[in-house]
Amino acid sequence: MAGQERQILARIDALIGEARAHYQERGIPDEEIDEETLLRYAYDHLSEAERVAFGIRPRAELEEILALAQFSNVADDYYKERGESPPPLDEDDPERAALIVEAKRYLREQEKAEAYWGSEGEDHEP
């Protein structure tokens, strides 16, 4: 497996170089190309098999976790509006539960960012 991981790391490095060139060709200066953007480009260009071999959860599982997190956030809002405590997360696998909780946080942060940037013409102080 170590050899396969090295191959995937080399592929990721190559994809990061490709990503940098991709954004530079579009006139984006190096200082505006952050590491997250480069890694996201690399991730998007890895095959599902490469992701799984590298220890990244399959896309379908990640999408399921995000869907569960979104549904759980909606349920939390519903109970909060009613003045009640939301029920606990119904997940037996602690690792999966932690991923769902992290996804819930991520989605809340996305909502806040969208609300912040979506309010054009308003003062944007957090």
The three-state secondary structure class of 124 is coil
Cα–Cα dist 109/94, whole Å: 23
Across 105-121, b (16+ Cβ under 10 Å) vs e yields eeeeeeeeeeeeeeeee
Residue-wise pLDDT tens for the chain (126 aa)? Answer: 577 778 888 989 999 999 999 999 999 998 899 998 999 899 899 888 888 887 888 888 989 999 999 999 999 999 999 999 998 888 888 988 999 999 999 999 999 888 888 755 455 454
Q: Which residues lie closer than 8 Å to 104 by C-beta, 6 or more apart?
A: 69, 72, 73, 76
